[in-house]
Amino acid sequence: MASYNKGKLIGLLERKRAAYITLRDYSTRASSAQDALNRHISHMRSNASEMTAGDAIDRLLLLPLSEAAALKRADVEEYQIQRGSLTDARRTGVPFGMWEKYLSMRASAERLRADQAMVQGRIDSQFAVITHLVAAVKKWGFADPELEVI
């Protein structure tokens, strides 16, 4: 006759539940940071579009974080338009302080997403066997142990 250590399996299920609560916290924090970043980007784009510099800012926003952080004040606040042999410098409408805040928010959002992915990976590897254990317990005719975890 089949048997299993019910207490041990319930303990594993409770730790898995706690881990998913932690993951939900990471997910919420990452989502909030991304929402704040998106609002800031919209504000920057709005400023740039008032100066007809939307394309210039969009190009800067596509840069990897390390390249974006290396930009100088003039690279952010001005862009060049080539008209024949003349080069015309125009304002982007995005102050450098706003750009620095964007960089900070972007770094924070990327770090939180990386933390979330790391926690998800740990949960997946640590608790991968539980699904098979629960299925085996049910197959042996025992009550579903997941119903005992609240």
Q: What is the pLDDT of residues 22-36, one digit of tens each?
A: 999 999 999 999 999
Task: Collapse the DSSP code of 74 into the 3-class scheme (helix H, G, I; strand E, B; otherwise coil) and give the result.
Answer: helix
Residue-range definition of the domain harbouring residue 92: 6-148
Helix (H), strand (E) at residue 28: helix 6-50
DSSP state of 57: H
Q: What is the pLDDT of residues 31-61, one digit of tens each?
A: 999 999 999 999 999 999 998 889 999 999 9
Cα separations in angstroms, 90 against 19, 71, 95 = 52, 17, 13
Name which of 121, 122, 107, 101 is nearest 41 in CA terms.
Answer: 101
1 is a domain residue: no
Do 94 and 76 touch, CB atoms closer than 8 A?
A: yes
How many structural domains are present in the chain? Answer: 1
Statement: residue 2 has pLDDT above 80: no
Do 42 and 98 touch, CB atoms closer than 8 A?
A: no
Task: Give the dihedral sign, CA 120/125/130/131.
Answer: positive
Task: Give the dihedral sign, CA 14/15/18/19.
Answer: negative
Q: What is the pLDDT of residues 75-103, one digit of tens each?
A: 999 998 888 888 888 999 999 999 999 99
Tell me how crowded residue 61 is: count the other CB atoms within 10 A of its CB: 14
pTM beyond 0.75: the answer is yes
At position 46, the amino acid (one-letter code) is S
pLDDT of residue 1: 56
- Mean pLDDT over all residues of the chain? 94
Tell me how crowded residue 9 is: count the other CB atoms within 10 A of its CB: 20
pLDDT of residue 84: 84
